[in-house]
Amino acid sequence: MEVRNRYVAIRRHIEGAPTEVDFEVREETARWSPDSGEVLVRNLYLSIDPYQLNRMKRSSASHLAVDGILPGQRIAAYAAGEVVASASPEYAAGDVVAGVLGWEDYTLFTPSPAVLMSKVDASASASAAAGGFPLSHHISALGTSGMTAYGGLFEVCRPAKGDKVFVSAASGSVGSLVGQFAKLAGCYVVGCAGTKAKVDLLKDKLGFDDAFNYKEEPDLNAALKRYFPDGIDIYFENVGGEMLEAALANMNTHGRVAVSGVISEYTGAGRRAAPDLMEVIYKRITIRGFLAWDFLPRFAEFNAVIGEWIREGKVQVVEDVSDGLESVPSAFAALFQGQNVGKKLVKLA
């Protein structure tokens, strides 16, 4: 079988903030044959994640853990789609799957643990009451964003009831879940975001105890002192730069920092945090980096809990959906301008 496949590629390695012109939509013919062992998927929802920028640079620490992306190449990405043809006994045409696919109309994959593929029940009968979820959830709260938030909070930070938790980029795909999970763990949770609408969302819809617009705070250190008069026990780091410096200055003894992402630093080394290591020593702070993939063996376990919370209405899933493959470059660039609210997705026709 042959299908005409459109895919998004970078025109050149990216340094600094990405813009639409860094990308192009290319076409190729994707060939599937019954003896290939491959599965052909028509993609339905694509995940748009900030970390992908690090793969698009000429070199970056990310290249150690994830393959770098070359100009003109297909871009692997978490996505959901429908199986069109399968040469694997594990999948059949019509199956709906979520896993590592790509920023493209169709993806061929060979089943292996590395593609993290799972079949999802996205039939019309899969109502919330029957245990089903909108397909998009499988690449947001029930995908790598959920795994990052759950693993990062519960495994890396180990929150105790009453802990004071600060979440940066709190209205983003991961932050919005971390804050809600921390509330369910009995913590006091404050988030920061970059617009009034996002701050309102955190407070009014997502149940954060408080939230603030960091762009309106000339002194982040003073702002955190105001929001955390008793100090911060856990900082879930999505931002980097001076936000980390301010968080450390306000942390309590034995504070924990889970470094999930540092979006403010992705676009330039000049934005790096220069944390006061004396805070780290005297407060015995632990700063730990992690990747969602570290929790792969527990993906099903995490998802069972998150899914139950969503069903019970205890966790709200915030998604920000653009339409059409050609919107991928603008959707991606918008992440770095803070334009998304919740998980950024692109829906294909």
Which residue in 3, 87, 280, 296 binds a copy of itself (CB under 8 A)? 280
Task: Please tell me whether residue 8 binds a copy of itself under the rule CB under 8 A.
Answer: no
> Given the complex with a copy of itself, which of 80 and 263 has the nearer CB atom?
263
In angstroms, what is the minimal distance from the CB of 311 to a copy of itself? 32
In angstroms, what is the minimal distance from the CB of 231 to a copy of itself? 10
Check if the beta carbon of residue 287 is closer than 8 Å to that of residue 260: no
Which residue in 35, 61, 218, 349 binds a copy of itself (CB under 8 A)? 61
> Given the complex with a copy of itself, which of 148 and 171 has the nearer CB atom?
148
Residues 6+ apart with CB under 8 A from 41: 81, 82, 83, 84, 97, 101, 106, 107, 108, 109
Strand partners, 6: 27
Which residue in 27, 90, 276, 308 binds a copy of itself (CB under 8 A)? 276
Task: Please tell me whether residue 325 binds a copy of itself under the rule CB under 8 A.
Answer: no
Check if the beta carbon of residue 99 is closer than 8 Å to that of residue 83: no
Q: Where are the beta strands (DSSP E) in 32-115?
A: 39-47, 76-86, 96-102, 106-109
Task: Please tell me whether residue 269 binds a copy of itself under the rule CB under 8 A.
Answer: yes
Cα gap 76→62, rounded to integer Å: 14
Task: Please tell me whether residue 148 binds a copy of itself under the rule CB under 8 A.
Answer: no
Check if the beta carbon of residue 109 is closer than 8 Å to that of residue 38: yes
> Given the complex with a copy of itself, which of 10 and 244 has the nearer CB atom?
244
Which residue in 285, 306, 315, 348 binds a copy of itself (CB under 8 A)? 285
In angstroms, what is the minimal distance from the CB of 80 to a copy of itself? 25
Cα gap 346→326, rounded to integer Å: 9
Cα gap 8→325, rounded to integer Å: 8
Which residue in 43, 47, 54, 144 binds a copy of itself (CB under 8 A)? 54
b/e per residue, 208-242, with b = 16+ CB within 10 A?
bbebbbbeebeebeebbeebbeeebbbbbbbbbbb
Interacting residues with a copy of itself (CB under 8 A):
54, 60-62, 64-66, 237, 240, 244, 253, 259-262, 265-266, 269, 272-291, 294
